[in-house]
Amino acid sequence: MKKAVDRDDFQKSLLIYRSTPLQNGLSPAHMLMGRRIRSNLPVSEDLLTPKGASKVRKEKERQKEKQKQLHDRTAKPLSTLKHGDRVRVRDINTGTWRQQGHVEEELSPRSYKVRTEGGLSLRRNRTDLRLQPTVEDTAAQEVELQQDPLELPELSNSDHADNGQTAASKSPTAERLVRPQRHIKPPQRLIESC
């Protein structure tokens, strides 16, 4: 309306009209949206909340709980890092783990300040850091493997006589799995006959 110079006044009057109940007891906004709208007309707070709002809230909480349970089945907590730990840093742009550095300090429960080999000081989340094994850790693992070698079960002579196979062919490392392949037969029209 051109005579309504102040558009704000016009919008308020439309809001009041749309929130005023008609003869059937429902306002135009209530019929359209299924709930009452807030306006400058005095209305009880209980009338403004939709009837099914509590059901929707409970359903959303149930969905969140279910989603948390499904996530927690496979999620595992990452170990905390200490000052001086050697780590690999994930490059945010490429997603590679090429940068190396060491932890300077823990800023918050999952956030660390890392000094890279290039001299950069970065703040990274624990998910973007991988702990690098030190030389002592790898040496200790090698010593454990040398002290506790895998023992293969010894085969008796009767097993050799029955199957005719050597002990090496029975070991799990020597056994080779071959994927089955389908037999391809060329069509008769392509076979030359003389």
Give me the pLDDT at residue 168, please. 45
Tokens of 5: 């110079």
User: Would you kindly state where each structural domain of the chain is located, as residue ranges?
Assistant: 7-45, 86-138
Q: Which comes out higher in pLDDT, residue 110 or 151?
A: 110
Residues 6+ apart with CB under 8 A from 128: 89, 90, 92
N-term to C-term CA, the chain: 95
Convert the pLDDT of each residue in 122-176 to its tens digit: 999 999 999 988 766 666 666 665 665 554 444 444 444 444 444 444 544 445 5
Which of 1.10.3470, 1.25.40, 2.60.40, 2.30.30 is the CATH number of 86-138? 2.30.30
**20 has a pLDDT exceeding 60:** yes
Q: What is the pLDDT of residue 59?
A: 92
The position carrying tokens 């059937």 is 24
Q: What is the pLDDT of residues 44-102, one digit of tens each?
A: 777 777 777 788 889 999 999 999 999 999 988 889 999 999 999 998 888 899 889 99
- Backbone φ and ψ for 46, nearest 5 degrees, come out as -65, -30
Measured distance CA(126)–CA(109) in Å, rounded = 9
